[in-house]
Structure 1
């Protein structure tokens, strides 16, 4: 399975939802993967006037929520069908720019952002491909917030090895589960990767399902690009070494 396969899975889902004409309500509370659990929009602080990027924006409800608070938000999704859903819902929302593009290609071409966030989407992308451009896509002092799958609903926890693994994507309104590759990594490995690319981890928050029969959990990581990048220490950087779910909240 490849990242292209994952995009096609979201295309199937997006086309299905377009055909249904389902209208989801606007967000009444920000969530990072599990409704009504964990930090809310307060995790961002004041976003008024900030240049913001939403990676894997789906229907666009989270991005529209931030735009309503005064942010200038670019919402990027690689799925044409998901992009069409967002365009139909938000055809002319002030402060919201909807883009259909691969996240890495967008970051390579875009000016730096003050804030980049992702609700559950970053683990679908190869960290070796994404993190270099993600770090350089932040302005000095800019922040990164992203939620990542930590434990799936079957209770399988994260890996300390930098390799993808198959997960079953369970999408609302579709009975069939779709296999996808995801990088489900320990918080320690995520931190090593962020530091390797010049970012500083600020905090990690647990977001666990309150249902006893569902063991799914996420981790919300907040990181920052320093105002000044320190000079590298003598010698080469050591690459992190390992010992070797569900859909987006804004589906």
Structure 2
């Protein structure tokens, strides 16, 4: 579908509701999903006096809510003339703290020179080519500024995200009168992360939000990121340097056959339990805590064996991940966080991971024999 045809969809959508005089209720909080509940305004951080961009603002109701509730100064930008008219019909064009702007978002970003402290989009981010939107958006968010947006993850037909950065047709519901079809970028969390990092953002969190009802397959992603701050040389002081590395632990849980316990993440990836090291914790203590919190298995620190350290870098942040093996544990594994990990098991991936673990152990033993220390 062409860009012109996609824009016409939103003009038709707005015209449908203008003709019927329909308006959604005034929100009490931000809604990043298509149902009640889940994260709200808090993910946007402190908005008092902040300059904020609402991408694809529609009727403007969330921009008005945030301006009234927190004193934010918001540019509510929408490219559909009928959606823009709905906002003007609902609110005064002189609504305190909100400027309603009829413009294509890419054109607005090209002309706007003053940076934003926060940019957000509720459901509208996936309707714009990220290869165009993210490079245009990054220079318009101040270094350290926040970007928050929600996008579709799994649609109403149960179709999950694409593994390539290409649009696909998705439906836009017209009340009880059928559907319009437009292009949408429905991407895996890993692809969104790659695109954001490439554009100069540092990922803070990617959360998959499933519908609360079993008969609804729709899931959304909520993504929070920060614009990478400019790094200058550190002034010479007597204070210690600021930490530049995130430290975490990956827990390899094995059974008597050295099969590895894995969890199926909502993104479709099998992974080991683990998480970041909290202040004051040892690596062994972190492994025991994360194991209990994510699988309900209990273990003792004496039974945790740290066998490797993985170093990598994501979005300008160095990451050090200690690989810890826990072979002695008690209890039955349970997916304690089903909204993130749907189930635990061994399966073929666990057997393959067990083979890889034995190879790592063998390699470490050979290195120890050769080491002169």
Instruction: Give the TM-score normalised by the residue count of structure 2.
Output: 0.60
Greater Cα offset, 200-209 or 113-122? 200-209
1:229 offset after TM fit, Å?
5.4
> Which residue is equivalent to 2:72?
71
Q: Residues 40-119 of structure 1: matches in 2 within 5 Å?
A: 40-68=40-68, 69-91=70-92, 92-110=94-112, 111-119=114-122
Q: Is the 8 A contact 1:54 1:75 kept in 2?
A: yes
Give secondary structure in 1 for the equivalent of 2:225: strand
| C-alpha distance in 2 between matches for 1:56 and 1:105 | 13
Partner of 2:339: none
1:35 corresponding residue in structure 2: 35
1:2-42 deviations in whole A, cap 9, x for unaligned?
Answer: 23222211111211211112243210232012232321111
1:184 aligns with 2:186: yes
- Please tell me whether the aligned partners of residues 59 and 82 of structure 1 are also in contact (alpha carbons under 8 angstroms): yes
- What is the DSSP-based 3-state SS (H/G/I as helix, E as strand, rest coil) of the residue aligned with 1:219? strand
What secondary structure sits across from 1:161 in the alignment? coil
- Number of aligned residue pairs: give it: 229
Question: How big is the shift at 1:169?
Answer: 1.7
Q: Confirm or deny: 8 A CA contact 1:149 1:184 kept in the other structure.
A: yes
For residue 216 of structure 1, what is the aligned residue in structure 2? Answer: 218
1:140-190: CA deviation from partner (whole Å, max 9, x where unpaired): 11110000100001110001111111112223x252211111110000000
The question of 1:140 aligning with 2:143 is answered yes
Give runs of ≥4 in structure 1 deviating > 6 Å: none
Q: TM-score, structure 1 length as denominator?
A: 0.88
Query: 1:120, 1:147 within 8 Å by CA — same for their partners in 2?
Result: yes
**1:106 Cα deviation from its structure 2 partner:** 0.4
Tell me which protein shows more strand as a share of its residues. Answer: 2
Correspondence for 2:275: none
Relative contact order, higher structure (CA 8 A, sep 6+): 1
1:16 corresponding residue in structure 2: 16
Tell me whether 64-73 or 27-36 shows the greater mean CA deviation: 27-36
Correspondence 1:120-135 to 2 at 5 A: 120-135=123-138
User: Which structure is larger by alpha-carbon Rg, 1 or 2?
Assistant: 2
Q: Secondary structure at the match of 2:143?
A: strand
Residue 161 of structure 2 corresponds to residue 158 of structure 1: yes
Structure 1 residues 37, 4: closer, same or farther in 2, change over 3 A?
Answer: farther
Contact 2:116–2:140 (CA under 8 A) maintained in structure 1: yes
Give the gaps of 5 or more residues in structure 1.
231-251
Provide the secondary structure at the position in 1 that maps to 2:24: coil
